[in-house]
Amino acid sequence: MTSAAATVSEPRPGPHEGHAVSYPRFLLRVLWLATDGSPRFYAWMTVLTAIALVGLHAWAVQVRDGMGVTGMTDHVSWGLYIANFTFGVGLAAGAVMMVIPAYLFHDRDMHDVVIVGELLAIAAITVCILFVMADLGRPDRFWHMLPGIGRFHWPMSLLTWDVLVLNGYLLLNLHICGYLLYMRFLGRKPDPRWYVPFVFLSIGWAISVHTVTAFLYCGLGGRPFWNTALLAPRFLASAFVSGPAFLIVALRLIESQGGFAVGPGPRRTLHGILRVAILVNLLMVGSEAFTAFYTGGGHAATAQYLFFGLHGHTALVAWTWTAVAFGVVAAVALLWPGTAAHPWRLDAACALAFVGVWIEKGMGLIVPGFVPSTLHEVVEYAPTLVEWQISAGVWAFGLLVFTAAVKVALPVLRDEPAGGERADASATPVASGTAG
């Protein structure tokens, strides 16, 4: 089996070969590297592909039979799909925000983490776009949102702003990662002028991605549960939880499967960011709860439904207290002395934090915005099997994209020579399989 180092840039392009010839060869080399691996890699990708195909079949059923196969109604029009979309935007933003310690504070050890974060952002934005497609009752009318083709209501509609920032964010990350890989394929040193400005731009863009998403909700005057100025900062705080939590676990999996060694410095940085962010996020959730229950107001009924149930309706109570419990346990574990020295304890804390934020920003934020309705009626929502299958398929496809992207980028992360030779000739060849 050909090693990952040997497949990224061999054969090297000729000295007078133009980009019109070398770039297609580069794309073919990337395709080969993304699909060539160890038996463990193939097993991982096969499982993800199977889950994605199940989701694709469920989506075909939904397109054929209509949105009536979902649990959404005219009262609750945003459900599991938009809940996952909201969380996915935060995951993408939080992953790239690791640029801040790497470049603004000149932490060179964090540069590899930044590349993995950029790849995670690409996968997460792909997931977000697919969830938006799944939520469309008529996906064949998607062209109406395309600038110059459909009726793009910009700048008045916040949905059009969301389309712009999401697609722009995806293009930014594709350019940064693609340029670094292409320069390595050519055997050249990357020119900072062609990627560093875009890295800094991605910081502001990551903040705008999640801020625009928050404004999309809190700008809806008819939904008092979302009418809070704290929503955008709360979104950013939770992004700093989900992004580092995922990266900590992903980096450990990559390293355990023969990837690259990150070192203790980036782990300490990610751990420190996560410890602070999860406390800030819990503080904001507590502030929202205090405001709702102590002062009353328009969204007091929604908060009552969310935490304790309303008029016998308790569909979200278990979700809410599970998210709170996971967040508190994760915070205690992350603050406990010695957690960073025990990898599995740290991974468990990251998993709890990740799932807790997924519930909080998904089922705990989107669905209760519609309950009670504007007519003061309590109409509950529960995802159907079709929704769960489509959601699982979308996340599986996102993991496919992330795994393939990391596998292609491993030679860059290991900083190997362009010809594929390892710096240490006596070292054991690196396995081509990654996370999984």
Do the domain assignments include residue 11? Answer: no
Give the confidence band of 277 by pLDDT, cuts at 50, 70, 90.
very high
Q: Which residues pair with 310 in a beta bridge?
A: 313
Q: What percent of the chain shows pLDDT beyond 70?
A: 86
Owner of token pair 């640029």: 99
The pLDDT assigned to 420 comes to 39
Q: How confident is the model at residue 1 (pLDDT cuts 50, 70, 90)?
A: very low
The rounded distance, in Å, linking the Cα atoms of 406 and 116 is 7
d(CA 144, CA 253): 41
The CATH number of residue 156's host domain is 1.20.1630.10
Q: Is the pLDDT of residue 219 over 60?
A: yes
Query: Which among 228, 232, 197 is positioned nearest to 214, based on CA atoms?
Result: 232
DSSP bridge partners of 337? none
Q: Could you tell me the two tokens for 19?
A: 């980009």
> Does residue 273 have a pLDDT over 80?
yes
Percent of the chain with pLDDT over 90: 35
Residue 13 confidence (pLDDT): 55
Query: Is residue 17 assigned to a domain?
Result: no
**Residue 2, pLDDT above cutoff 50:** no
- φ/ψ of 271, rounded to 5, equals -65, -45
Total of domains in the chain: 1
Q: Which two tokens stand for residue 286?
A: 């507590």
The answer to whether residues 416 and 71 touch, using CB atoms and an 8 Å cutoff, is no
Give the residue-averaged pLDDT of 130-150: 82
Distance separating alpha carbons of residues 378 and 399, to the nearest angstrom? 36
pLDDT greater than 80 at residue 214: yes
Mean pLDDT rounded to a whole number for the chain: 83
Determine the average pLDDT of the residues in 245-269. Answer: 80
pTM for this entry: 0.86
From residue 64, alpha-carbon distances to 10, 58, 60 in Å are: 46, 10, 6
Q: Which domain holds residue 339?
A: 22-414
Identify the weakest region by mean pLDDT among 99-103, 223-227, 332-336, 362-366: 99-103
- Closest of 179, 264, 256, 254 to residue 410, by C-alpha: 254
Rounded to whole angstroms, the Cα distance separating 215 from 105 reads: 30
Q: Give a yes or no: residue 377 inside a domain.
A: yes
- Give the residue-averaged pLDDT of 226-233: 88
pLDDT at residue number 6: 41
Between 398 and 20, the more confident residue is 398
Instruction: Give the model's pLDDT for residue 429.
Output: 31
Query: Is there a domain that residue 10 lies in?
Result: no
The residue-averaged pLDDT of 269-277 equals 89
Q: Which of 48-57, 312-321, 348-357 is predicted with the least confidence, judged by mean pLDDT?
A: 312-321
> How far apart are the C-alpha atoms of 382 and 413, rounded to whole Å?
43
Q: What pLDDT score does 339 carry? A: 83
Integer Rg of the chain from CA? 23
Three-class SS of residue 313? strand
Of 83-87, 163-167, 201-205, 422-426, the poorest mean pLDDT is in 422-426
Please give the full DSSP string across 288-304, using - where no structure is assigned.
Answer: HHHHHHHH--TTHHHHH
pLDDT of 104 reads: 64
